[in-house]
Chain A
């Protein structure tokens, strides 16, 4: 626990150090391509996410949640989120999962349908099964922030 906490502190320290450097300066984001290799690198992950968002939007059960949504921005932000949880060197800076899903009344079954569509998109992108599971395992805990009880 203590280790985890100090790691966290170190991370925030690093993050704030980076922020100081980044102030007013354009920094090229350098994704860690090796961590994203199974997903086709950052570009591959980005393409897969675009396909995923399109699948979700067309889905008869959960498409309604995305009817008025800015799908292009969702695609961009989600790519960053996926890249972040995969250790791909990106930093998700969007709103919290809780904040973006507030008042949407997402049911557990909706969440599962979304997870299935993610698997479909990953399979279509030829991501190996083990790597699919790696990503899904990282996203699964978000269930509690997204689904309304």
Chain B
């Protein structure tokens, strides 16, 4: 390492620690300052709780705090993508790792971020794919037609995905006005999410409900057939 590189590295380190301190300070501030909890409940046409609804809160009139881009992993395991839905912050990246014993061929047709990972060998971990546009991306496996994964790109740190009862709980949300978006995979690529506005109190809980005008389709599962080899979960060390 040359002198100049060394100095640059030191400077970079200093800057990183400054940012880290800033983030820690900010987090501390949020925890102690006026912040509330948002609970949302999403239901289908018949009022039943809906699984896999992505809720995101965007502050109105102020920019969402900056975030350090993250890298998450979506695996292919037992001929399924795992997790089925991921929510990431805009600017973050996803690694699609093949943990099966068969090849996969991943392709996204979403206009906001088309990509393809052709001939995706078992055990292969290709470079991360960065997502810079807000919205939902769906990735398919060309070889296994039931396999799909969703990546929801949100430009806010406040989000969550609903459980089987349809509820999401987002804590430590600074008091203020927010736009709340509720998105479900069955909306497809072009139908907009359901949206509402709410005021997060300085403490305590604010609750809102969403009603989708359809019944969610069942999530497609891998067919049970003896001819297809899958990774055995017990073989992982």
Which A residues fall within an 8 A CB radius of B?
19, 22-29, 31, 42-43, 46-47, 50, 70, 72-73, 75-77, 79-80, 93-94
Chain A residue contacts of B119, Cβ below 8 A: 19, 22-24
Q: Which of B126, B145, B148 touches A26 (beta carbons < 8 Å)?
A: B126
Contacting pair B111 A94 (CB below 8 A): no
Interface residues on B, range: 20 to 34
Contacting pair B127 A28 (CB below 8 A): no
Chain B residue contacts of A77, Cβ below 8 A: 109
Can you list 5 A-B pairs with a CB-CB distance of less than 8 A?
A: A22-B118, A26-B129, A46-B189, A75-B189, A93-B142
Minimal Cβ-Cβ distance residue in B for A21? B118
Please measure, in the bound complex, the distance between the C-alpha atom of A77 and the C-alpha atom of B188, giving whole angstroms: 14
Minimal Cβ-Cβ distance residue in A for B95? A26
Assuming the contacts A24-B121, A24-B124, A79-B109, asked whether A29 and B188 have C-beta atoms less than 8 A apart, the reply is no
Chain B residue contacts of A50, Cβ below 8 A: 188-190
Chain B residue contacts of A31, Cβ below 8 A: 114
Please measure, in the bound complex, the distance between the C-alpha atom of A59 and the C-alpha atom of B130, giving whole angstroms: 40
List the 4 closest pairs (A to B, CB-CB), nearest first: A22-B118, A29-B114, A43-B111, A76-B109
Contacting pair B138 A72 (CB below 8 A): yes
Minimal Cβ-Cβ distance residue in A for B145? A73
Chain A interface SS verdict (over half):
helix
B169 within 8 A of A: no
Contacting pair A22 B111 (CB below 8 A): no
Please measure, in the bound complex, the distance between the C-alpha atom of A26 and the C-alpha atom of B115, giving whole angstroms: 6
Q: Which of A19, A25, A46, A73 touches B111 (beta carbons < 8 Å)?
A: A46
Contacting pair A27 B116 (CB below 8 A): yes
Nearest chain B CB to A124 CB, angstrom units:
14
Which residues of B (117-162) have their CB < 8 Å from a CB of A?
117-121, 124, 126-127, 129, 138, 140, 142, 145-146, 148
Contacting pair A26 B120 (CB below 8 A): no
Chain A residue contacts of B148, Cβ below 8 A: 72-73
Chain A residue contacts of B186, Cβ below 8 A: 72
Which B residues fall within an 8 A CB radius of A?
96, 105, 107, 109, 111, 113-121, 124, 126-127, 129, 138, 140, 142, 145-146, 148, 185-186, 188-190, 220
Contacting pair B115 A70 (CB below 8 A): no
Minimal Cβ-Cβ distance residue in B for A24? B126
Interface centre among A27, A29, A76, A80 (most CB of B within 10 A): A76
Q: Which of A23, A42, A80 touches B118 (beta carbons < 8 Å)?
A: A23
Please measure, in the bound complex, the distance between the C-alpha atom of A23 and the C-alpha atom of B111, giving whole angstroms: 22
Q: Which of B115, B120, B220 touches A28 (beta carbons < 8 Å)?
A: B115
Please measure, in the bound complex, the distance between the C-alpha atom of A47 and the C-alpha atom of B192, giving whole angstroms: 13
Q: Which of A26, A29, A47, A76 touches B140 (beta carbons < 8 Å)?
A: A76
Please measure, in the bound complex, the distance between the C-alpha atom of A73 and the C-alpha atom of B146, giving whole angstroms: 9
Please measure, in the bound complex, the distance between the C-alpha atom of A47 and the C-alpha atom of B126, giving whole angstroms: 30
Please measure, in the bound complex, the distance between the C-alpha atom of A29 and the C-alpha atom of B113, giving whole angstroms: 9
Nearest chain B CB to A145 CB, angstrom units:
18
Contacting pair B142 A26 (CB below 8 A): no
Chain B residue contacts of A43, Cβ below 8 A: 111
Contacting pair B145 A70 (CB below 8 A): yes
Chain B residue contacts of A24, Cβ below 8 A: 117, 119-121, 124, 126
Contacting pair A80 B188 (CB below 8 A): no
Minimal Cβ-Cβ distance residue in B for A29? B114
